[in-house]
Structure 1
Amino acid sequence: MDNSNNASFLRTLCSLRWLATAGQAVTILVATWALGLALPQPPLWAGVAALAVFNLYARWRVGLERPIGPATAFGHVLVDVVVLTWMIGWSGGIANPFGSLFLVLIALAAFALPLAWGLAVAAACVLGYALSAMFGLPLPAGYFDPRMLYLFGVALNFLLCSVVVVVFTTRLAFSLRRREQELATLRERFARNEGIVTLATHAASVAHELNTPLATMTLLVDDIAEQSRQAELREDLDTLRELLVLCHERVLALAAPADRSNAQEAITVQEVLAQWRLVRPDVQLQRNLDAPMRLRLEPGVGHLLMVLLNNAADASERAGRPRVDLELRVASGQLLGEVRDYGAGFDTAKATLPNTLYDSGKRHGMGVGLALSHATVERLAGELWMQPAQGSGARVGFRLPLPVAEETTS
């Protein structure tokens, strides 16, 4: 059992221990005043006080968030065994119907502790029950028939054990479901990241193949532009050349992450928006005037912003309203961004951001952009979300922590 499970088990044990402390106190009062049993008060109340004080320490110990091993968990259960042995021994020994509470401790240990430690708890409980049976004080006479008192005690003990088992198993089942969800998320991330690594390897190979054709196309465009005498054609050729240069830079950058001596340089927000406008000249971009245009972003964040802008542009163009709104701010050492499109919107009950490779909602999409964006956001300990926009369209926002050196805005 790992540290988180041990801590969860001790927290549950602390909750149950408070229940046991209150139950023991009430039982002493009822047995003494209502049933007329002449029980030894000082040792019994001393046992209740010792259990309460230890539980305060246990809560403090769990709250420290220090490593908790199975030996520590066994020690906590052993304290419960000792106190229960003490209480049973001073209140009737083997004639006490609450002696079967030792079985509850064995069940709790069997559920939560490794096999060896669970067997150790079982051995301690057997020893405690034997000691309370051999050396326990006989149950004194009271106002009612001893046999009837024992039967009522057995019924009450059954009810108490049922409550304890239900509470513990419910919390354990919840903890197991949460752990299964965490494992499923980790498996999904692992599969996605493995696909990203494979994609990066393939992209580096394709980059070498595309480098030469792109350079050749750039030269051809330059030759055609020099020979052309039409102004409109020359403008189109200039735009085409800028796009080819952009593609050539992107191809060269594909291999940069694998080469530490040629690491990708940071890119400013202004450069990202300039590249996007070059690719999507027909889409109107509205941004806040105080956006940090000179803020330097790592390539992954620049790619995230580019993907969100392209997706918003695609949605707006399909709806016949080619417009995208962008809001960027820096606050409290974080980059806060939101991209709004004017498309058809989405069903709020089915709103999800693709988190896996090749899962695209667009007809001709590759299903790679948002998966890479998710990986970037997770790597930087950020957040990505989607909300409906007022009127029509959708708003996709993100939050990313920034290093102190990158908090300069324009």
Structure 2
Amino acid sequence: MTGPDAPFLRTLCSLRWLAVAGQAATILVATWVLGLELSQRPLWAGVAALALFNLYAQWRVHDADTAPLTAFCHILVDVTVLTWMVGWSGGIANPFGSLFLILIALAALALPLRWTLAVAAACLIGYAVSGLFGVPLPAGYFTAMQMHQWGVVCNFLLSATVVLVFATRLAIALRHREHELALLRERFVRNEGIVALATHAASVAHELNTPLATMTLLADDIADQTDSSEVRDDVETLRELLVQCRERVLALARPAAGESSGRDRVTLPQVLEQWRLVRPTITLKRNDDAPLDLPLDPGIGHLLMVLLNNAADAGEKAERPQVDLTLRIQGEDLIGEVRDYGHGFDARQAVLPGTLFNSGKTEGMGVGLALSHATIERLEGELWMRPAHGAGTRVGFRLPLSPRETSA
């Protein structure tokens, strides 16, 4: 462990409030119930000092430096106040002197070894000082042995509470960190494959540019040499497909050339026109109030193409070649949903496979969904999948219309 984090300092603040309340209650019980004539001013001064420091610590904990030195200074204040309180209430005869061990345990769980040793040394010095210069306990309503026994019981309950609170918070923080690390590892593996795929795609794009240009010239020659209107229509369709392929190839090559993507924004009609060209047999239904003039990030256009193609594939397998597309603007977000009329998804399978080359289709590689996940993460959006009413699947997404500002 390299150093403590903010949750540890916040936990210290919570435990410190528990200590303030416990010390105040102990002074009152010892004075009014046990009949001990304690030095009130020094003890209440210690309680006030600890409370004031905790107010300052809580104010600074959110933006404080979480280096080990910071946490050590926090614990050093606790050691100093505990030494003061134990010294003015019996010294080592006070059963609450064992609370020094709690501070050492907290340091051992959250600080590096050398700082833990420093805390242990400070606690040892504090315990020795309270023993050498401590004020003996005066006589009260009960014998010294009875008060010591009750003190041991209270000290055990207090120590158990402190350990339980801290251990629970630490376990929750560790589980949260493990979950975040697992997500980061999954994202790293997926992004590593996407980067390799993008590099290879840019290389292949340059190689495909010449064959596509040759095929376009051949299509023009065929159109000029034929008198059949049917052949001309087929050649025109082929030419449109070649133009679309050429645009896709150039789009793959542009990132490698370092060109800006700000000029590559698309609109919904452009995306749907390209999709209808490659899937002419699919019936597409769109909501009438869709934002047709809204400029979209190229990644959103690719996301729509992937979702529409997956929905078309599912519908064709079920012999229901229909896709419903819903797009609307809600606040500062773009909400979209693609519904197919296929057989639905298998509940036993991962709903949204997020790893590259992991597909729910036997002939698929999972690249489309992996790239969709990357687009959603890059734009800080959400992606979900739900069963549709009747038959089919609904895949939806929420994307911000403008980049979200991240706090430093």
Q: TM-score under structure 2 normalisation?
A: 0.92
Provide the rounded CA distance (Å) in 2 between the counterparts of 1:2 and 1:62: 18
Instruction: Structure 2: give runs of 5+ residues left out of the alignment.
Output: 404-408
Matching residue's letter, 1:22: A
Matching residue's letter, 2:293: R
Provide the rounded CA distance (Å) in 1 between the counterparts of 2:64 and 2:70: 11
Provide the rounded CA distance (Å) in 2 between the counterparts of 1:255 and 1:116: 54
Change (3 A) 1:347 1:125: same
Provide the rounded CA distance (Å) in 1 between the counterparts of 2:326 and 2:64: 42
- Is residue 221 of structure 2 the alignment partner of residue 223 of structure 1? yes
| Contact 2:345-2:351 within 8 A present in 1 as well | no
Equivalences, count: 402
Provide the rounded CA distance (Å) in 2 between the counterparts of 1:79 and 1:111: 18
Tell me how far 1:81 sits from its aligned partner. 1.0
Provide the rounded CA distance (Å) in 2 between the counterparts of 1:324 and 1:59: 55
User: Among residues 92, 95, 98, which one is paired with 2:96 in the alignment?
Assistant: 98
| Contact 1:44-1:90 within 8 A present in 2 as well | yes
Q: Write out per-residue CA displacement over residues 35-90 of structure 1, whole angstroms, 9 at most, x where no aligned residue.
A: 22222222222222222222222222124x34433222222111111111111011
Provide the rounded CA distance (Å) in 2 between the counterparts of 1:24 and 1:332: 52
Higher mean C-alpha displacement, 93-102 vs 67-76 = 67-76
How large is the Cα RMSD of the aligned pairs?
2.1
Aligned residues: percent identity? Answer: 70
| Contact 2:202-2:256 within 8 A present in 1 as well | no
Tell me the residue number matched to 1:294: 293
Tell me the residue number matched to 2:319: 320
Q: Write out per-residue CA displacement over residues 307-347 of structure 1, whole angstroms, 9 at most, x where no aligned residue.
A: 11111111222222211111222333322212122222235
For 1:4-403, list aligned pairs within 5 A: 5-63=4-62, 65-261=63-259, 263=261, 265-347=264-346, 352-403=351-402
Q: TM-score under structure 1 normalisation?
A: 0.91
Q: Write out per-residue CA displacement over residues 225-272 of structure 1, whole angstroms, 9 at most, x where no aligned residue.
A: 344444334323322221122112212221111112475622222111
- Please give the secondary structure, in 2, of the residue aligned with 1:189: helix
- Please give the secondary structure, in 1, of the residue aligned with 2:338: strand
Matching residue's letter, 1:271: Q
Instruction: Structure 1: give runs of 5+ residues left out of the alignment.
Output: 405-410
Q: Write out per-residue CA displacement over residues 321-375 of structure 1, whole angstroms, 9 at most, x where no aligned residue.
A: 2111112223333222121222222355755212111011112112111111111
| Contact 1:377-1:383 within 8 A present in 2 as well | yes
Higher mean C-alpha displacement, 224-233 vs 312-321 = 224-233
- Please give the secondary structure, in 2, of the residue aligned with 1:296: coil
Tell me how far 1:164 sits from its aligned partner. 1.3
| Contact 2:2-2:112 within 8 A present in 1 as well | no
| Contact 1:328-1:336 within 8 A present in 2 as well | yes
Provide the rounded CA distance (Å) in 1 between the counterparts of 2:303 and 2:155: 61
Provide the rounded CA distance (Å) in 2 between the counterparts of 1:152 and 1:291: 74
Matching residue's letter, 1:122: A
Tell me the residue number matched to 2:406: none
| Contact 1:6-1:73 within 8 A present in 2 as well | no
Matching residue's letter, 2:202: A
- Please give the secondary structure, in 1, of the residue aligned with 2:280: coil
Provide the rounded CA distance (Å) in 1 between the counterparts of 2:126 and 2:342: 72
Provide the rounded CA distance (Å) in 1 between the counterparts of 2:66 and 2:191: 32
Provide the rounded CA distance (Å) in 1 between the counterparts of 2:90 and 2:133: 10
Provide the rounded CA distance (Å) in 2 between the counterparts of 1:171 and 1:295: 47
Tell me how far 1:379 sits from its aligned partner. 1.4
Provide the rounded CA distance (Å) in 1 between the counterparts of 2:217 and 2:386: 46
Provide the rounded CA distance (Å) in 2 between the counterparts of 1:256 and 1:6: 43
Tell me the residue number matched to 1:407: none
Q: Write out per-residue CA displacement over residues 117-164 of structure 1, whole angstroms, 9 at most, x where no aligned residue.
A: 222221211111111111111011222221232123223212321221
